[in-house]
Amino acid sequence: MKDYSDLNLNNRLQNVNSLAVRRRGESFNPPTDFESQVDRGAVTRGKLGTISADVLKGGTLTLGGANNVNGVFSLQDEGGTEKISMDKDGMTVNDGVITIQDSAGSSVIDSSGVVSLTTFPSDSVEQPVEQATSSDTWADISGVSLNIPSLARDTKFLFLWTALLYAEDATWASVAVRLRVDDTTYRPWMILTQGDNPNVDRVDAQLSTFKFLTLGSGTHTVKLQFRKWETGAYGYADQIILSYIQLGK
């Protein structure tokens, strides 16, 4: 077999993978092998042309920065109308829908806005039966308790409670109600006092109050407690309602 090495063909012919191979007098650019032919960082719009997103996998898409200044992402429908735009100032959805789900798969934001039942869970308990106490020691009001499901992190709550209170059988007869969460009690207390009037043997009023609290992760138990106050023989609580609203997750 004849040895053609002396013809120095390597210096006379360009590699077929060259970006400037001539065929029939016309210059053309062959397909670029990103794995071996070029530095991916050097690919330009002119070299790349059109690429199908169907073949893109993994990696990180970076728009803007450095010499590209402010990158812009534009998602369009089949008619060329922009539906979603993202740039250095944020994201804009034009006549579209964003749905955000929590870890349980429930929607917290949809096309109508915030889904309140998911984002702000709430619960309430009502005890319509009158309860009396003659003790100076705080005691749980029977049937007025709420269990808060396990929290994943610190969460703010709004607690509200109301009750019809009355006291009798002594001057300065009083009754007090307070909130208890787990082993901690909180003010404000609801206190009803009869006052120093010997001609009045009973006083009553419907009282309400509220409290903002931040609870830690885990489960919690919420109760109301009451006790008589001052010199009264008895304190009473009736028509009691305890509620909470979880202010986000």
- What pLDDT does residue 20 have? 46
pLDDT over threshold 90, residue 240: yes
Assess if residue 33 is contained within a domain: no
Contact 71/62 with Cβ under 8 angstroms? yes
101-110 long-range Cβ contacts below 8 angstroms, 24+ apart: 102/249, 108/249
What is the side-by-side strand order in the sheet with 139-151? 139-151, 218-229, 174-181, 184-193
Q: What 3-state class would DSSP assign to 16? A: coil
DSSP summary character for residue 58: S
Tokens of 83: 């539906």
Assess if residue 65 is contained within a domain: no
CATH number of the structural domain spanning residue 233 = 2.60.120.760
Q: Which domain holds residue 228?
A: 122-246
Q: What is the pLDDT of residues 139-172, one digit of tens each?
A: 999 999 999 999 999 999 999 999 988 776 555 6
Amino acid (one-letter) located at 60: T
CA distances from 154 to 105, 149, 151, 215, 217 (A): 21, 13, 7, 6, 6
Assess if residue 174 is contained within a domain: yes
Contact 87/72 with Cβ under 8 angstroms? yes
Tokens of 49: 């042309």
Q: What is the pLDDT of residues 171-226, one digit of tens each?
A: 566 888 999 999 999 998 988 876 666 555 666 788 999 999 999 999 999 999 99
Assess if residue 233 is contained within a domain: yes
How many CA within 13 A on the CB side of residue 40?
4
Q: How many domains, in total, are found in the chain?
A: 1
